[in-house]
Each structure stands twice: as structure tokens, then as C-alpha cells.
A and B are shown apart, each in its own frame.
Chain A
Amino acid sequence: MTAELAISVRGLTKIFDGRKVVDDFDMEVPKGAIYGFLGPNGSGKTTTIRMMCGLLTPDAGAGHCLGFDILSEQNSIKENVGYMTQRFSLYADLTIRENLDFIARMYRLNSRKSRVSEALVNLGLADRANQLAGTLSGGWKQRLALAACMIHKPALLLLDEPTAGVDPKARRDFWDEIRKLSAQGVTVLVSTHYMDEAVQCDFIAYIAYGKKLIAGPASDIPGMIGLHTWRVTGPALADLELALRKDPDVGQVARFGAVLHLSGTDKAKLLALATRYNAEGVYTWVHKEAELEEAFIYLMTGVEDNFVSTKS
């Protein structure tokens, strides 16, 4: 089985200043998959990624990345993994070409010149190769960073919130690129906050406060939580929203423009509520499939509650 896994880690734990940033984390990423890594800010996504690519030594746990041990074969992992950091981390005072060339030299690539030129053409930056990287716009910086971490043709890409602060068009282009790479057999692990990006992933893991809450194929996630969702339309939705938020039977209320999505795990109670409102005739309640978005909002609220209760 392990032959088909790009990443397989068990029990990863990292402690900073006595605080468990990552707590007993397991993950299995199949080869060639796009694996979405979701969770709120500060939930330990970056730390987990850094442990998996050999940048950080876990305090506990073990595992393999591309068949190399994450505890003892960090150098082999680095040779075969492309890691794109959250912050733009290329040299602002070097040109685009110089940056790519420098990274290529770090990997001691053969035929470096042609690899760099090829990357520049793929990027569409060939005519701006001598521009300083610091003068690029956010979207271009991110594409350059992706090109830099792809320059050694890695088998696994680790992308840490690659599209943060990038406009929707650039995000779409970026994901086209990711899917193209995935089709070529590259495994991609990508952390993100965006639901529209999570939907694009084959598998998803959700992490909060260092603990993994759920993981599985993207389409199975809502079913795994057992969430039931109703779509509500009608006048004066704001008042209804306020009223429903106080109702303990409704797990979660989310507003989507002129529509309310109500979700909860208790199917019977929700059905009773829907029947009551539909009988009144003011609002229309329609049952719908729970989607990822509802699932994650549900997870997030649930976790915050857990966190508050463990604190008190």
C-alpha cells in the first residue's frame, strides 16, 4: 500500500513553548492526488507541512514522504519536493531570471540555462526576465514562486496558502496550472482557506488547533459529518436569521445572498421545523444536499465551541 502513497505520517506532534501546535496528526496522501489541507488560521497547517518536508523535526511521530523517512532522510526529501511558502520568499532585489537560476543552482540541475529559459517561457515572463522580482504584482509573484518550486520537476508539491491575497482571475489560472501538474502525475498538497479551492481537491483534511478533525475524499466529507441542509427563501430573511440562530435545533445558519442555508445533524427536528414554516406559507423551505461549504462552517463553529469548553 505504501508504494501508492506520496505522504504517510502517523502521530506527528510539535510543541512550541509548551503549546502543542500539532497534536498526534495522521495523514495519507495518495500519489497523483490533489490533497486539500484546510483549517482556520493558526491551526498548525504550516507547521505540519514543514514537518512533512523535512524542515522541522517533529517532537513525536514518524512517517514517510515519497518513500523517504521524514526523520532521517530530510535531504532526500528536499531534493524531490517543491515547497512554496506562504510568504513570497524569493529575492526582491534579484531579477526574475536570477531568482530562477539561483534556485536551479541550489538543486544542482543539469542544463540549467535551458531549464530556466523553459520555465520563463511557461510562465509567460520571457520578455520580462530581467525585471526585479520585487516589482511584480501579487499574482505574478505567486506564479514566479510556483515556477521556482517546480524548477527541479519535483514529484510532490507542498503549497502553503498559495493563493492568499491573489485576485480571482489569477487564482483560477493558478488552479488550472495545478490540475495540469496533477494530470502529469505530480502529487499536490495544498493548504487553503477558500471553499471554491477546497472543492477542486480530490481529498481533504480539516485541521483545527493542531488536531485533525476529518479527512477523506472531498465528495464524502458532508456525508461523513451527517449534515442535513435546508434552503430557505422568502422576505425579511434578516429577522428569520436572527430568530433561527437562537433555535437550539438548528446547528448552523449561513446567509448566501437572498438565501439562507440551515444545517444540522438532527434530521427529524429540522424536518419538523421546515414543515412548520412551510405551513405558515411566508418562507419556502427546500431540502438540499449538504455541500463542503456547509460542512466546513459547521466544523469551524463546532471546534470553536470545543475550544472554549476545554479552556473553561
Chain B
Amino acid sequence: MRWRFSPARLFAVLSKEFVQMRRDKITFVMMIGVPIMQLLIFGYAINSDPRHLPTLVEMADEGPVTRAILSGMQSSTYFDFQGIVTSPEAGDKALRDGSANFVVVVPPNFERDILRGLSPEILLSADASDPTAVGGGAAAMASIINTAVTQTLTGPLSYAAGTPPPISVVIHRQYNPEGNTSINIVPGLLGVILSLTMVMITAVAIVRETEKGTMEALIATPVRPLEVMLGKILPYVLVGYVQTIVFLIASQVLFGVPFIGSRLAFFVGFNLYIVVNLALGFLISTVARSQMQAMQISFFTLLPTILLSGFMFPFAAMPGWAQAIGSAIPATHFLRLVRKVMLKGADITDILGDLTNISLIMLVIVAVALKRYRQTLD
């Protein structure tokens, strides 16, 4: 009867497992934290029908119809007017550096041409490098104009509201005229891939040294901490380079993603991004006690990188608090940078803002990591 299944032994193993689970604080936090974070992000932060997208107007004419159209756009909640531009170049620049998703262009003599029945064109320029973000607004444009026309062209002017349509809408999907989602996703993927591997590999590589006890022998030699850190991190920078090269080839060959911007801007951007991720991995290594914990914490940072950075879901569609969290993630800024450079032809001056943001995040991470590293040494 010795081989019989014993509930008492089963219970002993079970309770031992629970005790160990409770002792491993990081695993415990992850078990509770990851589902809560996913619930909050998917439930509240993600919205695939984004509204309140920043919009600029280039007004060469002004009148009752124009005003009705603009107020109709604003009340549709798809568009959020941020100001006016005075030249097509200024509008293009705003789309390229990402400060606006739409530019509405009202041509000269717009009001007069409506009344003359010439069916003037109103132009909606959209940044289609993120097709999901601008899709809703572009689709709503026709009905907004219809409503504006029926509201304003009444009474003696009602003759102009008939056929042919008094206004023709031209929607210009810039950077991605076919609305191809892979053109948006693939450049973003570089940010996620680099983040995943750089953070995790660095954290695990450093923690492994402490976990196996080899760090103790290492620091007993005259080696300086900086030599250890650089020596451990630099090989993974090389890994990041290899990943980026593979990525660039694949995005061109397999997905036909264009690369129209400045190569220098790309080079500067991805180097900075690799460094910030290595720093994050280093920071994690000062917190984690085992390789398992290092993996778990890296995974924890990966979730917001995928969900809140604008990689999978439009950044503009998220509520303010989620955007605030997203802005603290390096990938958010790197994603914008890569899309700008690859799809919108940006050069180094267009991405200065993103570079600054990544640098600021890096400063914070490095400061915290060094403080923690000093403590763990003693």
C-alpha cells in the first residue's frame, strides 16, 4: 500500500509551493501585476477608433460654409483644431514631424466658387503612416460636409446645394497612400524587437554573474566596475546592430517598406535607442536576484512597450493618463522617430525632439541604475 496516492503528501507539496510563491516577492508581484496591467491597458487605454487627433487648417478663404465645415469637424470629435498654417510647406512639416495628423486646406475663392456652382475642392491631408489613426476622420469627412452644406445653403442660396455636389472632397493620404498597415507596423517592430532582446539579454547576463557567484571573484580582482559593465554590455550592442541589419533587409525585401529618410538620422536614433535599452537592462539587473526574476521584470517592461507606445494601437487614441505613461517609454519616441525617417523622409532636424525625449528617459534610468549599483556593491 506504500505506493498509494497520499493526499497528505500532496497537501505538503502544495503548501510548500505556496510558501515559496509568497517568499519570491518579484514573482508574486508579477503574477498579480501583469494581469492587472493588461486589464487596465486593454480595458481603458486602448481605443482603435481614435478621436481628437491634432488638426491644422490652411485657410485661403473664409465664409459661412467654411465655418460650418470646421465646426462640424470639431464636433465630430475626430478632429481637434490646434491652429492655422499659412503655407503648404508648413502643413507638410507638421505632418512629417508628427505635430498634426490632419491638415485641412481651404482653397482661395472657396465660398464664391460654391455659389457659382464650380464645385471647389476642399483638401484633407492625412498622415496615413498610421492608417488606423486617420481612417475614422477621413471616412467621416463626406457626411460632415453634407451636413454643413444643408445647414448653410438655405433660402435664396439653396440652389447651390443641388447637383452637382457643391463641394468635392479630396483626401490625400500622405506617406502610405494605400493605407497598408504593414508599412506602419514593420518599422515599429524594430523598436519592440530591440527593446525585447536588449533589455532581457543585458539583465540576464549581469544577473547570471551574480547568481553563479562569479561576480564575487571578479570584483576581488583589480578590475574596475566600469570595465565590467562596458565589457558585459558592448557585446550586446553588436547583437543590436545585427538585429537592425536583418530587420532593414527583411522590411525592404519581404514587406516592401520604403526607406526615404536620412540614414544618418536613423543611425543616430537607433544607437541611442540601443543604449537606453541596455541601461534599462542594467537597471533591472540591479533589482533582480535571479535570472528568472530578470526575465520576468523584462517581460513586465515589454507589455507597455507593445501596448502603450503606439506600436499596436494609435497613441493619439489613448486617454491622457495612458499617454503620460506611454511618453515615459523609450519605444514610444523611437517608434515615432523610425516612422518619420523611414516613411516620411525625415532628416536629423525633424527628429531632434524624439532624440531629446529618449535622452531624458536615459538620464533618469542611468541615474537610478548607478545609485542602485553602488548599493549592491556593498
Interface, chain A (partner B; CB < 8 A): 53, 55-57, 75, 78-79, 81, 83, 85, 87-92, 103, 106-108, 148-149
B222: interface (CB < 8 Å): yes
Bound together, the chains give a CA A11 to CA B212 distance in angstroms of 32
Residues of chain A with a CB closer than 8 A to B217's CB: 83, 85, 89-90, 103, 148-149
Contacts of B214 in A (CB 8 A): 89-91
Q: Which residues of B contact A88 (CB under 8 A)?
A: 213
What are 6 A-B contacts with C-beta separation under 8 Å? A78-B220, A83-B220, A87-B216, A89-B218, A106-B218, A106-B223
Q: For B213, what are the chain A residues with a Cβ–Cβ distance below 8 Å?
A: 85, 87-89
B60 within 8 A of A: no
- What's the Cα separation between A40 and B28 when bound, in Å? 34
Cα A223 to Cα B218 with chains together (Å): 42
- Interface mask (B181-196 → A, CB under 8 Å = 1, otherwise 0): 0000000000000000
- Nearest Cβ distance between residue A43 and chain B, in whole angstroms? 19
Q: Which residues of A contact B216 (CB under 8 A)?
A: 55, 85, 87, 89
Within B121-160, the residues touching A (CB, 8 Å) are none
Q: Given contacts A88-B213, A90-B214, is CB(A57)–CB(B378) below 8 Å?
A: yes
B378: chain A residues at CB < 8 Å are 56-57
* Contacts A78-B221, A78-B222, A106-B218 supplied; 4 other A-B pairs, CB < 8 Å: A78-B220, A85-B213, A85-B216, A106-B223
Q: Which of A75, A92, A149 contacts B212 (CB 8 A)?
A: A92
Nearest-CB distance from A155 to chain B (Å)? Answer: 14
Query: What chain B residues lie within 8 Å of A85 (beta carbons)?
Result: 213, 216-217, 220
Residues of A contacting B222 with CB < 8 Å?
75, 78-79, 106-108
Looking at chain A's contact residues, is the secondary structure mostly helix, strand, loop, or mixed?
A: loop
The answer on a CB contact under 8 Å between A55 and B221 is no
Q: Which residue of A has the minimal Cβ distance to B220?
A: A83
B370 is an interface residue with CB less than 8 A from chain A: no
B221:A103 contact, CB within 8 angstroms? yes
Within 8 A of A (CB), among B218-276: 218-223
| Interface 0/1 of B359-378, CB less than 8 Å to A | 00000000000000000001
Minimal beta-carbon separation of A286 from chain B (angstroms): 48
The 10 closest A-B pairs by CB, nearest first: A89-B217, A106-B221, A83-B220, A87-B213, A89-B213, A78-B222, A85-B216, A79-B222, A106-B223, A89-B214
In the assembly, what is the distance between CA of A103 and CA of B223, in Å? 10
Q: Which residues in A have their C-beta under 8 angstroms from that of B218? A: 89, 106
Option from A55, A57, A92, A108 in Cβ contact (under 8 Å) with B220: A55
Known A56-B378, A85-B213, A89-B214; contact A107-B220, beta-carbon cutoff 8 A: no
Chain A residues, Cβ within 8 Å of B212: 89, 91-92
A267 to B213, CA, bound (A): 49
For residue B164, give the distance in angstroms from its CB to the closest CB of chain A.
78
